[in-house]
């Protein structure tokens, strides 16, 4: 409020009352939005943890045979590549985000000379790559949701600390000023009236 000049008029008081009313109505909405965004971010973080656990479990399950992947005669890197991660746009807690759908792989044809373990390795890699792609999508969702959360928090603070207190103070000050002006007018009128009565008596 500091630095803002208040117009001490009834119109200004009406304007400030309107601002106060709107602000008090909006604040709970932004608070609810903040809670919803926080809950969604927490839920996504939990989902990411779950997926990471599945990835770890898959790796642990494959651990007894991982040694075969260093086969000097096979470059397993050449067998599989991610072509595209398919996503769809959805609204999560009022924010437009991309939701993971599937992964398109380019898998090199396997000839009969290729060792059998390559089939198992490709299966494992596909599963892990799909899970990692889902994690990436979820992390991107968190980034967008946190940006929105920051924005909503800033609004909540603005309403709580600036708009509502400022409007309340402005209404109070304008009220006092208008009351003072009214008293002054009445007092002046009384003085004038008394003066005129005395002149008549003289």
Partner 1 sequence: MSNLVYLMCSLPALTFGQNPTITLDEFNKDAKSQLSTKHFKKLEAADIRKSDSNGTKSGLKSIDELLDDVRQDCSEIRNAKAQSRTPNLNRLPKAVLGANPLEREKMIMQLQWDELESAGANETFTFTEVVVYKLKLQILNRLHSFDEERGAQVLASVVNPAKKEEA
- Give the residues lining the site for partner 1 (CB under 8 A): 59, 62-73, 76-77, 80, 110-113, 115-117, 119-121, 124-125, 128-129, 132
CB of 85 to partner 1, least distance (A): 14
Residue 52 vs 96, nearer CB to partner 1: 52
CB of 118 to partner 1, least distance (A): 9
CB of 54 to partner 1, least distance (A): 13
Pull the structure tokens for residue 156.
């909540």
CB of 49 to partner 1, least distance (A): 17
Pull the structure tokens for residue 176.
């006092």
Rounded to a whole number of angstroms, the CA Rg of the chain reads 35
Residue 113 vs 198, nearer CB to partner 1: 113
CB of 74 to partner 1, least distance (A): 9
d(CA 98, CA 91): 9
- Angle, CA 115 vertex, CA 109 and CA 118 arms, to 5°: 60
Residue 24 vs 114, nearer CB to partner 1: 114
CB of 82 to partner 1, least distance (A): 10
> 3-state secondary structure string, the chain?
CCCCCCCCCHHHHHHHHHHHHHHHHHHHHHHHHHHHHHHHHHHHHHHHHHHHHHHHHHHHHHHHHHHHHHCCCCCHHHHEEEEEEEEEEEEECCEEEEEEEEEEEEECCCCCCCCCHHHHHHHHHHHHHHHHHHHHHHHHHHHHHHHHHHHHHHHHHHHHHHHHHHHHHHHHHHHHHHHHHHHHHHHHHHHHHHHHHHHHHC
Residue 15 vs 136, nearer CB to partner 1: 136
Residue 20 vs 125, nearer CB to partner 1: 125
Residue 80 vs 95, nearer CB to partner 1: 80
């Amino acid at each position: 409020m500091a630095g803002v000049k208040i117009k001490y008029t009834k119109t200004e008081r009406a304007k400030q009352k309107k601002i106060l009313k709107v602000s008090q109505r909006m604040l709970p909405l932004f608070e609810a939005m903040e809670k919803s965004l926080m809950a969604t971010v927490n839920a996504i973080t939990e989902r990411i943890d779950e997926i990471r656990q599945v990835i770890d479990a898959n790796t642990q399950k494959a651990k007894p045979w991982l040694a075969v992947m260093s086969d000097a005669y096979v470059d397993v890197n050449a067998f599989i590549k991610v072509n595209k991660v398919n996503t769809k746009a959805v609204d999560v807690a009022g924010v437009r985000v991309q939701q993971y759908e599937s992964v398109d792989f380019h898998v090199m044809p396997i000839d009969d000379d290729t060792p059998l373990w390559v089939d198992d390795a490709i299966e494992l890699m596909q599963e892990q790559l799909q899970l990692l792609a889902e994690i990436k999508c979820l992390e991107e969702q968190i980034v967008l949701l946190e940006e929105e959360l920051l924005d909503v928090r800033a609004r909540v603070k603005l309403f709580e600390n600036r708009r509502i207190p400022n409007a309340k103070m402005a209404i109070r000050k304008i009220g006092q000023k208008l009351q003072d002006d009214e008293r002054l007018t009445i007092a002046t009128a009384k003085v004038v009236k008394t003066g005129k009565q005395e002149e008549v008596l003289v």
